[in-house]
Amino acid sequence: MTTPQSASIAARLRAATLDALKATGIAFGLFVVMVGLRTDIGPTGALLLRTRWPDVAALCAAVFILRLVLALSVRPQQAAVTPARWAAGLSRAGLLFGPALLALALILPFIPGIGRYELDLGILVLTYVMLGWGLNIVVGLAGLLDLGYVAFYAVGAYSYALLAQYFGLSFWICLPLAGILAAFWGVLLGFPVLRLRGDYLAIVTLAFGEIIRIVLLNWVSLTGGPNGISGIPRPTFFGLPFSMGGGPGTFAGFFGLEPNPSHRVIFLYYLILALALLTNWVAMRIRRQPIGRAWEALREDEVACRALGINITNTKLTAFALGAMFAGFAGAFFATRQAFISPESFTFIESAIILAIVVLGGLGSQIGIAVAAIVMIGGFELFRDLDEYRMLVFGGAMVLIMVLRPRGLVGSRSPSVLLGARRE
Amino acid sequence: MAGPMLEIDNLSAGYGAVQALKGVSLHVEKGEIVTLIGANGAGKSTLLMSICGDPRARAGRVLLDGEDITAKPTHEIMRSGVAQAPEGRRIFPRMSVLENLIMGAQAAGQDPDAELPGVFALFPRLRERQSQRGGTLSGGEQQMLAIGRALMSRPRLLLLDEPSLGLAPLISRQIFAAIRDLNQREGLTVLLVEQNANQALRLAHRGYVLVTGRITMSGSGADLLARSEIRDAYLGGGH
């Protein structure tokens, strides 16, 4: 005699076994060619075919067991409840977590044990935080899937490099110019894609990103093509250069300090921190403005926006322009930090990483994006010792995060107007 | 005598190769509730949308208080006193009720604080739910929100697209009562598209019947309700 309980256990076991068998079948299909057959170069130089059936069998067995364990351990109702509880706890912790993270970022250069390498990593992470926050305006708030965001980063970087090279303009003049030029290109991209949504928009923006890169690569007379532009001027401390020579006209000389190469790194660190915080501040402010709410409404339902009388054209173009502007700032910063840029730095994978940061952080969440940038960029550095397994560990970590938190690290959206803030 | 609030003259419109409206003419006087009834696919929603310029009219004219708005951009039409609660409600699901309402006022250039009390008085439920996400509301509450959001723009003319769709009879009666209330107390002009012909014709002063893009009948609400063709076609026989 079977009780209902044991019957349901048996049913689950059956379903899990079936599921595991399916996964094993797929794995077998993949591994039989990829692992099972291998060609080696023989002693005579001819290719020898070698079979590795035991390896295939081991892999398939591993897939079967792992899939079975996964299917049995994840109960459907549990899977639904846990993220909600997590999110509530995380949003509570987030109240303290954000300021704590900011405080840590502010004092980072003065923490003992933080050297040149850590600061450089910090600068890199903050660059991606800024790019993530910038892209978040386009993707997270306005809901326009942009796969070519790196194009605006490139426009910013090349704007500064070329303006400095041809006209000798300083970083502080070029920074706003780079932002304006990138915003202009954002509008230029925006016009043809006004009527596109979702996948179609993604394809066109992807193509746009590639066009910018290919133009940079081939317009050798202006951009130097694949050789890039080198000798881009370093930023000055409001006119005081960082120079190892010291002397009255330099940063060290003016403040009576011993010349030290770390001054420039610390300055760059605070510069990108300030730029990132500016991005965050503007994005947060705008979210509470009519245009910010229009972006969010656009993400939710374009037809409803039209029926309400929102000017869709202006709404989309401002989102593209503003998002692009911050990428332009970040690009100018990138150029001055590296002192060398080439089209190599602006490939599609950069767009993909920035988009991954935004998605992983939970679309629309500022703090989530900061955490995701630290995890993605910092984590990637952390796994450096793993050599060729680095990508594997990294990919596994991303899959794990998406399984545990399918809506991103911080997946909940808080309203921009609250009950208490409004008088009745 | 002043002309009608809304006058549609020989309007044709459609999507792509589909001609949904084939020369529709109707008019709505100031302070009237006019209903447009018809089967699925008759072109009712297309008519409401093309009043707003999306899709644009292929022929004919739309006049609002005598002004030709046929070629105006959609957002300007919506700023000149027309509001629509679109088909399927189309509230913003991840935004709070309050944010949804504010969007309605802001898009039309109105001050949200001035409009909120009126909407909350009409639908007290929305006041209770104001910090809740739109998507978590029940169907009836979402419909209230869609109408409330449209009212936030302080319209002269309210276009309602199937407000009773998918609602329990009790809830849809509440919605219809609210529309009647708006019309009687505030003198709001309403053009109501409905499949629920029975309720709509009882509420409306006048009605039009739309069949495959053409107006086939018109008359007062009571008059249309009494006609046998209407009873057979739209009221489900002995309903």
> What H or E segment, with its residue span, contains residue A30?
helix A4-34
The C-alpha atoms of residue A242 and residue A109 are separated, in whole angstroms, by 17
pLDDT digits (tens, 9 = 90+) for B13-59: 999 888 999 999 999 999 999 999 988 888 999 999 999 988 899 99
The contacts found for A59-67 with CB under 8 angstroms, 24 or more apart, are A59/A27, A59/A31, A59/A35, A60/A24, A60/A27, A60/A28, A60/A31, A63/A20, A63/A23, A63/A24, A63/A27, A64/A20, A64/A21, A64/A23, A64/A24, A65/A20, A67/A19, A67/A20, A67/A23, A67/A24
Size of interface A-B (CB pairs under 8 A): 85
Q: Per-residue pLDDT for B150 more than 90?
A: yes
Predicted confidence (pLDDT) at residue B168 exceeds the cutoff of 70: yes
Buried b (16+ CB within 10 A) or exposed e, A241-264: bbbeeeeeebbbbeeeeeeeeebb
pLDDT computed for residue A177 by the predictor: 96
CB-CB under 8 Å, B91 with A424: no
Q: What are A's interface residues with B at a Cβ cutoff of 8 A?
A: 290, 293-294, 296-297, 300-301, 303-312, 413, 415-419, 422, 424
A170, part of any domain: yes
CA distance B225 to chain A (A): 31
Cβ(B120)–Cβ(B127) below 8 Å? yes
Instruction: Determine if the peptide bond prior to A343 is cis (ω within 30°).
Output: no
Q: Is the CB of A309 less than 8 angstroms away from the CB of B79?
A: yes
User: Does residue A222 share a domain with residue A114?
Assistant: yes
Residue A108 has pLDDT above 80, yes or no: yes
Q: Which residues of A touch B52 (CB under 8 A)?
A: 306-307
Cβ contact B90–A290 (<8 Å): no
The residues, any chain, with a CB within 8 Å of residue B187's CB and separated by 6 or more, are B30, B31
Residue B107 sits at the chain A interface (C-beta within 8 Å):
yes
Which of A366, A345, A219 is closest to A285 using CA atoms?
A: A366
Give the per-residue pLDDT at A340: 94
Of A33, A51, A73, the domain-final residue: A73
- Whether A423 has a pLDDT exceeding 90, the answer reads no
Closest-CA residue of A relative to B115 is A424
B93–A300: do the CB atoms touch at under 8 Å?
A: yes
Q: Do both A193 and A53 map to the same domain?
A: no
pLDDT in tens, A6-57: 777 888 888 888 888 998 998 888 888 888 888 888 777 788 888 888 888 9
Q: Where are the alpha helices (DSSP H) in B58-196?
A: 74-79, 97-107, 112-122, 124-128, 139-151, 169-186
For residues A108 and A64, membership in a common domain is answered with no
Question: Does position A422 have pLDDT exceeding 50, yes or no?
Answer: no
Lowest mean pLDDT among A88-97, A196-205, B86-95, B194-203: A88-97
- Clarify whether residues A173 and A231 are in a common domain: yes
Residues B49 and A294: their CA atoms lie apart, in Å, by 20
Mean pLDDT of chain A: 86
The more confidently predicted of residues A262 and A280 is A280
Q: In the predicted model, what is the mean pLDDT of residues A160-165?
A: 94
Q: Which residues does chain B have within 8 Å of residue A308's beta carbon, measured at their own beta carbons?
A: 78, 83-84, 103-104, 107-108, 149-150, 153
Interface test with chain A among B15, B54, B56, B94, by most A beta carbons within 10 Å:
B94
User: B52 to chain A: nearest residue by CA?
Assistant: A307
Bridge partners of A39? A49
The region, left, alpha or beta by phi > 0 then psi within -120 to 50, assigned to residue B87 is beta
Instruction: Return the higher-pLDDT residue of A418 and A51.
Output: A51
Chain B residues with beta carbon closer than 8 angstroms to that of A415 = 95-96, 98-99, 131
Q: Are residues A65 and A132 in the same domain?
A: no
For B153, the closest chain A residue by CA position comes to A308
Percentage of residues of chain B with pLDDT beyond 70: 97
Decide if A418 is inside a domain: no
Total of domains in chain A: 2
Q: Of A73, A103, A128, at which residue does a domain stop? A: A73
Backbone angles phi, psi at B26, to 5 degrees: -160, 170
Residue A65 has pLDDT above 80, yes or no: yes
Q: In terms of residue numbers, what domain contains A89? A: 85-404
- Both A138 and A65 in one domain: the answer is no
> For the purposes of burial, counting CB atoms within 10 Å of the CB of B152, is it exposed (0-12), middle (13-18) or buried (19 or more)?
buried
Residue with tokens 């039409």: B77
In a domain, A139, yes or no: yes
Q: Bin B152: left if φ > 0, else alpha if -120 < ψ < 50, else beta.
A: alpha
Q: Look at residue A211 in the predicted model and tell me its pLDDT.
A: 95
Give ranges for CATH 3.40.50.300 in chain B: 1-81+156-239
d(CA B239, CA B236): 6
Q: Does the distance separating the beta carbons of A303 and B86 come in below 8 Å?
A: yes
pLDDT at A424: 37
Tokens 């890199």 found at? A124
> pLDDT per residue over A305-331, tens digit each?
988 889 999 999 999 999 999 999 999
Q: Given A16, A49, A73, which residue is the final one in a domain? A: A73
Residue A76: predicted pLDDT: 52
The confidence score (pLDDT) of residue A40 equals 81
Task: Tell whether the model's pLDDT for residue A390 goes beyond 60.
Answer: yes
With CB atoms and an 8 Å threshold, state whether B106 touches A312. no
Taking only the tens place, the pLDDT of each residue in B77-130 is 998 899 999 988 999 998 999 999 999 998 888 899 999 999 999 999 999 999
Is residue A14 domain-shared with residue A133, that is, in the same domain? no
The pLDDT score that the predictor gives to residue A82 is 52
DSSP bridge partners of B8: B26, B62
- pLDDT over 90 percentage in chain A: 42
- Give the pLDDT band (50/70/90) at residue A194: confident
B237 min Cα distance to partner chain A (Å): 35
Interchain pair A308, B78: CB under 8 A = yes
CA distances from B118 to A9, A91, B79, B142 (A): 57, 34, 19, 17
Q: Do A52 and A97 share a structural domain?
A: no
Strand order from edge to edge, sheet including B6-15: B18-28, B6-15, B59-64, B67-68
Residues pairing with A286 in the sheet: none
**Is 60 exceeded by the pLDDT of residue A1?**
no
Report how far residue B94's alpha carbon sits from residue B139's, in angstroms, rounded to the nearest whole number: 15
| A316 contacts A322 by C-beta, under 8 angstroms | no
Cα dihedral A14→A20→A22→A24 (10° resolution): -150
Same domain (yes/no): A54, A142: no
State how far the Cα of A309 lies from the Cα of B79, in Å rounded to an integer. Answer: 6
Under the banding of pLDDT at 50, 70 and 90, the label for residue B175 is very high
Q: Is the pLDDT of residue A61 over 50?
A: yes
In this structure, which long-range contacts are made by residues B122-125, counting pairs with CB atoms below 8 Å and at least 24 apart in sequence?
Answer: B122/B148, B122/B151, B122/B178, B122/B181, B122/B182, B123/B147, B123/B148, B123/B178
In a 13 Å sphere around the CA of B163, the CA atoms on its Cβ side amount to 31
**Residue bearing the bigger pLDDT, B183 or A2:** B183
ipTM associated with this complex: 0.86
Sequence-ordered list of residues with C-beta below 8 angstroms from that of A409, at least 6 positions apart, any chain? A90, A360, A361, A362, A365, A368, A371, A372, A375, A401
Closest CA to B193 of B14, B28, B38, B9: B38
Up-side HSE of residue A332: CA atoms within 13 Å toward CB? 28
Give the Cα separation of B137 and B128 in Å (integer). 11
Averaged pLDDT, A388-409: 77
Nearest C-alpha in B relative to A364:
B94
pLDDT-based confidence at B2, cuts 50/70/90?
low
> What is the reported pLDDT for A86?
64
pLDDT, one tens digit per residue, over A70-97 is 888 765 544 444 556 666 666 666 678 8
| Block residue for tokens 């006019």 | B34
Inform me whether the pLDDT recorded for A243 exceeds 50: yes
Instruction: Identify whether A416 is part of a domain.
Output: no
User: Do A254 and A208 fall within a single domain?
Assistant: yes
Expressed in percent and rounded to 5, the helix, strand and coil fractions of chain B are 40, 25, 35
Strands (E), A302-345: 340-341
- Residues A280, A177 within the same domain: yes
Quick one: tokens of A193?
Answer: 């894609």
User: Are A106 and A136 members of one domain?
Assistant: yes
| Per CATH, domain B1-81+156-239 is 3.40.50.2000 | no
